[in-house]
Amino acid sequence: MSKTQLALITGASRGIGMATAAYLARAGFEIIGTATGPTGIQAIEDALAATGRLRAALQLDVSNADSIARFFADLAQAELNPTVLVNNAGVTRDNLLLRMKDDEWETVISANLNAIFRLTRGCLKTMVKARYGRIINVTSVVGVSGNAGQSNYAAAKAGVIGFTKSLAQEVASRGITVNAVAPGFIDTDMTGKLTDQQKEGALAQIPTKRMGHPDEIAAAIGFLASSEAAYITGETIHVNGGMYMV
Ligand code: NAP
């Protein structure tokens, strides 16, 4: 595909999403990035303005169906039709199951799993019409390994992998690939919330003896987003410094 591709990255205001947006901009993609509010939108504009590749920085709450519907209406009005979708936005609400509240379960399932269904469905028609598409879902090592205190998050991220494999089979004949990237322990705000003790415990499990950098996840996503990755679909690429070998 030689035509410039338009890539939509959810949660592009920080961490892995921002690194991915910057990586794809450097690789020649045009970018739509989303954030939950004005501060994040400003952060996307500040980070990407100089690349000349930012088409739009838009507000989106992926856990809210009405927000997603408004978002797609805005895209349609602006005639923005992404053929690359990076479902990156995600949240954690860690707790042991005995103490887990309904809203901790529901928030995590909506932002990490329900959102992927709605965002992907919303982008798929354009990709089918173009007979080309790249869908990359950001899952997690814990969706495969499990992790005490994260039954909600691990359930959502494991669901993402099942979703990825099933959709990959539905749309492969249309030139659309669907893959997942499973980061390990990456240095972002999400892991910044952990205590020093939790960080030490995690680092002890990692053969490379360090946290990953968001750019190292962006590089894997960037490859899957490229036309060269046409023969990889339904796959989960683990980027975790050897923390968990599948
Ligand atoms: P992060 O630094 O906490 O950034 C989260 C991003 O998601 C922000 O851009 C945030 O936007 C956005 N977001 C949060 N809730 C949202 C919502 N309801 N609607 C729309 N956007 C929302 O997280 P990260 O570490 O980069 O994580 C990115 C992805 O990687 C997530 O799916 C996460 O589960 C996955 N992951 C991370 C790690 C890790 O070690 N960091 C490991 C495995 C998997 P605002 O700035 O507007 O809040």
Give the DSSP letter of residue 124: H
Count Cα neighbours of 178 within 13 Å in the Cβ-side half-sphere. 25
For residue range 17-50, list pLDDT tens digits in order: 999 999 999 999 999 999 999 999 999 999 999 9
The sign of the torsion formed by the CA atoms of 154, 16, 131, 229 equals: negative
Residue 224 has a pLDDT of 99
Task: Kindly give the distance from the C-alpha atom of residue 234 to the centroid of ligand 1, in angstroms, as a whole number.
Answer: 22
Residue 10 and residue 115 in contact, taking contact as beta carbons nearer than 8 Å: yes
* Residue (of 200, 211, 115, 190) closest to 159 by Cα position: 115
Q: Does domain 6-239 have CATH number 3.40.50.720?
A: yes
Q: Which residues of the chain are modeled with pLDDT < 50? A: none
Taking the alpha carbons at both ends of the chain, their separation in whole angstroms is 32
pLDDT at 61: 98
Cα of 178 from ligand 1 centre, angstroms? 20
Q: Is 132 a catalytic residue?
A: no
**Confidence at residue 3, expressed as pLDDT on a 0 to 100 scale:** 81
The pLDDT of residue 2 is 56
